[in-house]
Amino acid sequence: MHFPLIDLLRGFAAISVVIYHIIEHFSWKAFPAEGILSWFRIGWMGVDLFFVISGLVIGLAAFSGIDKFGAQGFRADFIRRRIARIVPLHYLTMLVFIAFIMPEVMFQGFWANLLTHLFFLHNLFPAFHGAINGSNWSLGTEMQFYALMVVVSPWLYVARIWKVLFAFLMVAWAWRLGTVWFVEPDAMGPFKIFLVSTQLPGMLDEFAIGIVMAKLFRSDLGHRIFDYCQKLPVALGVCAVAAAVFYLMLSIYWRYASFWDIPVMVVLFRTFIAVSFGMIIFAACVITPSVQVKRLLWPLTYLGEISFGIYLWHLPVLLSLKRLNWLSFEQIVVLALVLTITLASVSWHFFERPLMQKYARSTKKVSVQESVPQVEKAAV
């Protein structure tokens, strides 16, 4: 399944994170706090959007692998593709960050720091969380999610949707409730609560929303819903509902923006973020743009294609620009976006994509028996 507007959402998520970090790293207090631009003050939610999209895309990839290779045979192909997509650029940007941006990390518990980042465990330790190219903390959660999918995808493939949603929600809520009960703020404020609550168990509700959509889209009921929602009046209605839920989510956030001391917000609010983004993603999936519209949207969808690079390259760019303390905020935005997008584009075309094409191809032969898709019993 291919949903062209998903790339548009990926690009939006990446740019949101970039501008949010510009506001934070450069203390841009005059940035608009009202209107459309106020979104970028909470652009950190772009990471949550990435996680929901990841649940959908990785769910579809795992289920497709099971279709081709069976419940056991899909794993090698799945792992190879995930490694080829994530690891090379993660390692390259780490190298650039250590060598040119913050070489002092080599003299501060370097080997433990490096090893946790190499094995995607850095998000589990306060000392190493964000220590090398800070935005890559989320890659720890993401790669741990991939490891989980290697184990549980055969169950997800045949389980009813409500069981999947219930199991993932219960784990996420229990984990975040435990965070509220057992993790105390310290001199670093709510950082430890954030660190623990955003580890994989605490983010499973966001991945679950995407997985549920993946299962729905593959089911007979999902096909009927999908076909019905593609009718223009229904599609517009879906977009309106998604916009209303998103607006409600933002309204709640702005009312309780510093929510780390509000237990119910810590436990439940990220689920509401995931639901609102899930509805936006569903609306983007049911809209099928014409060829002409695709051409008009190409610059935006291209940002989605290189969004992983934007996400990993932007912080080294921002930290480099901080040395030029005479730049205006507007100049910083322009330079940061131009340099980040340029680096992401170059790394995509000359580094990431060639490696993916070389190492992510399936080399396993599919037997006649394996090539017969297993039937999903029920979607609901």
DSSP for 317-364, please give it: HHHHHTT-TT--HHHHHHHHHHHHHHHHHHHIIIIIHHHHHHHSS--P
Is residue 365 domain-resident?
no
Q: State residue 223's pLDDT score.
A: 87
The answer as to whether 377 is a domain residue is: no
Instruction: Please indicate, yes or no, if residue 209 is contained in any of the structural domains.
Output: yes
Q: What is the pLDDT of residue 374?
A: 40
Does residue 367 lie in a domain region?
no
Please report which helix (H) or strand (E) contains residue 143, including its range: helix 137-158
The parent domain of residue 305 ranges over 4-359
**What is the pLDDT tens value at each position of the chain, 380 positions in all?**
678 899 999 999 999 999 999 999 999 999 999 999 999 999 999 999 999 999 999 999 999 999 999 999 999 999 999 999 999 999 999 999 999 999 999 998 999 999 999 999 999 999 999 999 999 999 999 999 999 999 999 999 999 999 999 999 999 999 999 999 999 887 778 999 999 999 999 999 999 999 999 999 999 998 899 889 888 889 899 999 999 999 999 999 999 988 898 999 999 999 999 999 999 999 999 888 888 888 999 999 999 999 999 999 999 999 999 999 999 999 999 999 999 999 999 999 999 999 999 887 655 554 433 333 343 433 33
Say if 364 falls within a structural domain.
no
Kindly report the length of the chain.
Answer: 380
Residue 371 is predicted with a pLDDT of: 37
Which phi and psi (to 5°) does residue 366 adopt? -100, 120
pLDDT at residue 375, rounded to an integer: 36
Residues 6+ apart with CB under 8 A from 132: 94, 97, 98, 102, 105, 113, 114, 117, 122
Residue 217 lies in a domain: yes
The whole-angstrom separation of Cα 309 and Cα 357 is 17
In-domain check, residue 266: yes
Residue 379 lies in a domain: no
pLDDT of residue 362: 59
DSSP 8-state code for residue 33: S
The 8 Å CB, 24+ separation contacts for 231-239 are 235/283, 235/286, 235/287, 238/279, 238/282, 238/283, 238/286, 239/283, 239/287
Neighbour-count burial for 287-316, b at 16+ CB within 10 Å, e otherwise:
beeeeeeeeebeebbbbbbbbbbbbbbbbb
What's the number of domains the chain is made of?
1
